């Protein structure tokens, strides 16, 4: 049976790998039409370097360029609305139009509270702190003010007798922005790195702040730095293909033109955030906000910036030609964890089915039905194994009684185990056979947990009374359903070789334990779990009425009568 179990796992993984081309063909979104570039998510062509600004010269003949007053420039397309200010030539607001916040408003991806304290997106980082403060506070001369539609280019220039700064941005129809910066101080180029300094705007709760990371990749190697591994001001030197700030569902990722000369400065700061919707100033929690500055550590910086969702179909369209592997894109931002070999195909399959039923909740239910039916042969095999365990239970008890007088450290205890093993072998019994369906189902359950934790498609996805399948069930109906179905399953499933008193305790403790575990899990995961349990009850009823099930029941009742005597 152990060999069969390993064979089942091997065949499962082999089937998943073999079906990858089919899932990729039919599960991915259709390519965008060339006639409608405003709806495409494909990459823009590589934008050529914009001409550098005129160098500032020292002395009385120096050229001075700066803004006369503070002004705003708004760049928008179908995906975002970005508001620049010429004070510091940085971003005040970055709204994603296709996503909403907890109040059902368009999602602001700038963490306004943290940015007001630690800096705004696309400000510049230099190791010289006074220079950094000046770069991010002076009034630049913008090439464009007011509102403009992408594709669009905008530049900000500043010059005085000692300093010349150029910041240029190119926007297309997708989530990518070409960023080019050049800073010269007294004629010499100064490294000035564009940064996203203070977290992301969807971070509003302690758990969302705790989920923030700094990720970067070089070819096949992906590094994910959690809070405890990050110190503010630390420089990570390249090469790397991309790096930046991420959280559970969104990311601000820099892709340098020259990975070998790139560097990333990590930023970590704390901020007090009010708890709850009432925003009581006395009821706060301390949150850690992460930021990153990326660019050329030797001089002018040229890179692309992706600011948007960690949506697998979108990330797969972002070409990163410097990555030397089979997937030169940003798909590695979605971390499916150790069970990615299961989680990613499950998600592709789930997305494909959602295209038919047009609801993520019903797609989860349909997928659960298929998986549960596929595991039915294993459940039947489990019942046969439990029946054999029931038959040899008296003999096992007799062997245990014979060696009862010896302590666990006595070498003769090993003889008991050898006799039991020989009995198992003689009768063809697998002691773990009854656990086989749960063993097989656990990888799917863990893969579902990872998938739902990173799948932005389920964020704010509705199903019946549930408003967000990626969040816990507010009414707790699904966890309660798991407790009830688990209790019924325990009562209905024959449990071989177990004392009746111990069996009663397990029938109560197991549902309570699983209810506690599922209480605050994502509703989508609990939906999968509860539907699977419900289908398991239906299967168990059918099997209990079969000849195999009746035989097991008779043996259990006979054993219970003997125990009462």
Nearest to 215 by CA among 321, 335, 109, 297: 335
What CATH number corresponds to the domain at position 107?
A: 2.70.98.90
Q: Residue 48 falls within a domain, yes or no?
A: no
Please report the pLDDT score of residue 58 as a whole number.
41
Q: Residue 29 falls within a domain, yes or no?
A: no
Query: Are 380 and 262 within one domain?
Result: no
Please report the pLDDT score of residue 40 as a whole number.
35
CA 137 – CA 123 distance, rounded (Å): 9
Query: Are 91 and 130 within one domain?
Result: yes
Query: Are 184 and 321 within one domain?
Result: yes
Q: Residue 19 falls within a domain, yes or no?
A: no
Query: Are 368 and 320 within one domain?
Result: no
What predicted TM-score, i.e. pTM, was given to this entire model?
Answer: 0.79
* Residues 236-265: tens digit of each pLDDT: 998 999 999 999 999 999 999 999 999 999
Please report the pLDDT score of residue 132 as a whole number.
96
Is 476 buried (19+), middle (13-18) or exposed (0-12) by CB count in 10 A? middle
The answer to whether residue 476 scores a pLDDT higher than 50 is: yes
Q: Residue 395 falls within a domain, yes or no?
A: yes
The number of domains in the chain is 2
Query: Are 360 and 295 within one domain?
Result: no
Q: Are 230 and 194 in contact (CB under 8 A)?
A: no
Query: Are 168 and 240 within one domain?
Result: yes
Query: What percent of the chain has a predicted confidence (pLDDT) above 70?
Result: 81
Query: Are 198 and 260 within one domain?
Result: yes
Domain holding 491, by residue range, is 352-564
Please report the pLDDT score of residue 547 as a whole number.
75
Average pLDDT in the 476-491 region?
86
Query: Are 102 and 130 within one domain?
Result: yes
Instruction: Verify cis geometry, omega within 30 degrees of 0, for the bond prior to 46.
Output: no
Query: Are 294 and 177 within one domain?
Result: yes
DSSP 300-331: -EEEEEEEEE--HHHHTTS--TT--SS--SSG
Q: Are 251 and 262 in contact (CB under 8 A)?
A: no
Q: Which of 195-204, 380-389, 421-430 has the highest mean pLDDT?
A: 195-204
Nearest to 8 by CA among 353, 441, 413, 367: 441
Average pLDDT in the 287-301 region?
94
φ and ψ of 307, to 5 deg = -125, 110
pLDDT interval class at 500 (50, 70, 90) = low
Query: Are 275 and 406 within one domain?
Result: no
* Residues 42-84: tens digit of each pLDDT: 333 344 444 454 454 444 345 788 998 999 999 999 999 999 9
CA 107 – CA 434 distance, rounded (Å): 49
Q: Residue 34 falls within a domain, yes or no?
A: no
Q: Residue 137 falls within a domain, yes or no?
A: yes
**From 162-171, 266-275, 434-443, the region with the lowest mean pLDDT:** 434-443
Q: Residue 83 falls within a domain, yes or no?
A: yes
Last-in-domain residue among 332, 362, 378:
332
Query: Are 294 and 420 within one domain?
Result: no
Average pLDDT in the 302-314 region?
96
Q: Residue 247 falls within a domain, yes or no?
A: yes
Last-in-domain residue among 279, 303, 332:
332
Last-in-domain residue among 270, 304, 332:
332
Please report the pLDDT score of residue 396 as a whole number.
82
Query: Are 485 and 519 within one domain?
Result: yes
* Residues 73-118: tens digit of each pLDDT: 999 999 999 999 999 999 999 999 999 998 889 999 999 999 999 9
């Amino acid at each position: 049976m152990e060999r069969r179990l390993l064979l089942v796992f091997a065949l499962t993984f082999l089937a998943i790998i073999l079906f990858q081309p089919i899932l990729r063909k039919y599960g991915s979104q259709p390519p965008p039409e060339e006639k409608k570039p405003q709806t495409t998510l494909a990459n823009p062509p590589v934008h050529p370097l914009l001409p550098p600004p005129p160098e500032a010269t020292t002395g009385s003949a120096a050229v001075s360029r700066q803004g006369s007053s503070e002004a705003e420039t708004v760049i928008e397309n179908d995906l975002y609305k970005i508001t620049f200010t010429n004070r510091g030539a940085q971003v005040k607001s970055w709204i994603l139009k296709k996503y909403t916040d907890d109040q059902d408003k368009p999602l602001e991806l700038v963490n306004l509270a943290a940015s007001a304290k630690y800096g705004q997106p696309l400000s510049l980082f230099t190791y010289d702190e006074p220079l950094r403060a000046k770069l991010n506070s002076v009034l630049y001369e913008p090439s464009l003010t007011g509102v403009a539609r992408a594709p669009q280019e905008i530049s900000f220039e500043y010059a005085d007798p000692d300093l010349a700064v150029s910041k240029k941005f190119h926007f297309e129809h997708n989530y990518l922005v070409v960023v080019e910066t050049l800073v010269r101080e007294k004629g010499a180029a100064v490294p000035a790195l564009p940064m996203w300094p203070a977290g992301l705007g969807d971070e509003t709760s302690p758990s969302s702040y705790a989920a923030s990371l700094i990720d970067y990749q070089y070819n096949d190697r992906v590094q994910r730095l959690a809070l405890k591994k990050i110190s503010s001001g630390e420089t990570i030197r390249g090469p790397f293909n991309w790096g930046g700030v991420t959280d559970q569902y969104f990311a601000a990722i820099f892709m340098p033109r020259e990975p070998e000369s790139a560097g990333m400065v990590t930023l970590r700061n704390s901020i007090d955030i009010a708890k709850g919707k009432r925003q009581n100033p006395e009821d706060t929690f301390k949150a850690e906000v992460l930021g990153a500055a990326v660019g050329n550590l030797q001089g002018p910086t040229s890179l692309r910036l992706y600011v948007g969702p960690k949506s697998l179909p979108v990330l797969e369209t972002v070409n990163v030609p410097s990555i030397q592997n089979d997937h030169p894109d940003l798909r590695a931002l979605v971390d499916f964890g150790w069970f990615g070999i299961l989680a990613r195909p499950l998600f592709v399959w789930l997305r494909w089915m959602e295209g038919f039923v047009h609801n993520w909740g019903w797609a989860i239910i349909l997928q659960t039905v298929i998986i549960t039916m596929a595991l039915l042969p294993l459940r039947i095999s489990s019942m046969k194994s439990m029946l054999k365990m029931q038959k040899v239970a008296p003999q096992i008890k007799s062997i245990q009684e014979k060696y009862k007088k010896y302590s666990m450290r006595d070498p003769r205890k090993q003889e008991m185990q050898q006799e039991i093993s020989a009995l198992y072998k003689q009768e063809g019994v697998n002691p773990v056979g009854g656990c086989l369906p749960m063993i097989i189902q656990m990888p799917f359950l863990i893969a579902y947990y990872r998938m739902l934790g990173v799948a932005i498609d389920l964020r704010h996805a509705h199903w019946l009374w549930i408003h967000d399948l990626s969040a816990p069930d507010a009414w707790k109906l699904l966890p309660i359903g798991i407790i009830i179905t688990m209790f019924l399953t325990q009562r209905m499933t024959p449990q071989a070789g177990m004392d009746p008193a111990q069996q009663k305790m397990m029938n109560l403790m197991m549902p309570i334990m699983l209810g506690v575990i599922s209480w605050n899990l994502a509703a989508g995961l609990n939906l999968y779990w509860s539907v699977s349990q419900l289908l398991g009850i239906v299967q168990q009823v059918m099997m209990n009425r079969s000849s195999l099930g009746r035989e097991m029941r008779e043996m259990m009742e006979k054993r219970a009568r003997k125990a009462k005597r």
